[in-house]
Amino acid sequence: MPASFHKSTLFIIVFVMMIPISLIAQNFSGDELIGKGNPELFGEGIGLRKEAYEAFLKMKAAAKKEGINIKVVSGYRNFDRQKAIYESKYRRFTNSGLSPEKSIRKIIEYSTIPGTSRHHWGTDIDVIDDNGKYSGDVLIADKFHGNGPFCKFKEWMDLHANSFGFYLVYTDNANRKGFEYEPWHYSYRALSKQMLTEYIKIDIKKVLFDEQLLGKEYLDDEFINTYHRDHILGINPELY
Q: Minimum Å distance from CB 177 to Zn ion?
A: 17
Distance between CA atoms of residues 118 and 193, nearest Å: 11
Label residue 103 exposed, middle or buried (CB < 10 Å: 0-12, 13-18, 19+). Answer: buried
Q: Minimum Å distance from CB 213 to Zn ion?
A: 20
Cβ closest to Zn ion, residue 80 vs residue 220: 80
Judged by the rule CB under 5 A, the positions of this chain that interact with Zn ion are 126, 185
Torsion (CA) 43, 27, 224, 240 in degrees, nearest 10 = 80
Distance between CA atoms of residues 149 and 234, nearest Å: 27
Residue with smallest beta-carbon separation from Zn ion: 185
Cβ closest to Zn ion, residue 83 vs residue 185: 185
Distance between CA atoms of residues 120 and 32, nearest Å: 7
Q: Minimum Å distance from CB 65 to Zn ion?
A: 26
Q: Minimum Å distance from CB 74 to Zn ion?
A: 6
Q: Minimum Å distance from CB 185 to Zn ion?
A: 4
Question: Which strand (E) or helix (H) includes residue 63?
Answer: helix 50-65
Cβ closest to Zn ion, residue 118 vs residue 194: 118
Cβ closest to Zn ion, residue 126 vs residue 198: 126
Counting other chains too, the contacts that 176-180 makes at CB distance below 8 Å and 24 or more residues apart are 176/234, 176/235, 177/229, 177/230, 177/231, 177/234, 178/108, 178/230, 178/231, 178/232, 178/233, 178/234, 178/235, 179/108, 179/109, 179/110, 179/112, 179/231, 179/234, 180/109, 180/110, 180/141
Q: Minimum Å distance from CB 76 to Zn ion?
A: 11
Cβ closest to Zn ion, residue 60 vs residue 205: 60
Cβ closest to Zn ion, residue 81 vs residue 216: 81
